[in-house]
Amino acid sequence: MALSPSSSAQQARRALADRLAELCRDAGLSGLDLAERCEWSRSKSSRIMNARTPPSPGDSRGNSRATLSSRL
């Protein structure tokens, strides 16, 4: 049985949130650290990390830079 578009979108948000959490753990960042480095509000960071809302393409670029820069 095929997944509904909404459950497919939720699965994609969950996969992204899981990967972001993994990157943050590896970099030693908390959700608050990520929010500050990406210039997000705490609530936005929480919504993205809990798969309630997807990040925009600009958000994705920002959190990639934030997690990678903490490794240097």
User: In this predicted model, what pLDDT tens digit does every residue of 12-64 receive, in sequence order?
Assistant: 999 999 998 998 999 898 989 988 888 889 999 899 999 998 888 877 666 55
CA distance linking residue 33 with residue 5, whole number of Å: 32
pLDDT of 72 higher than 50: no
CA distances to 5, 8, 16, 29 from 21, rounded to whole Å, are: 24, 20, 9, 9
Give Cα separations from 53 to 2, 13, 46 (angstroms): 23, 7, 9
Q: Tokens in use for 62?
A: 């920002």
Task: Tell me, rounded to whole angstroms, the distance of Cα 22 from its chain centroid.
Answer: 10
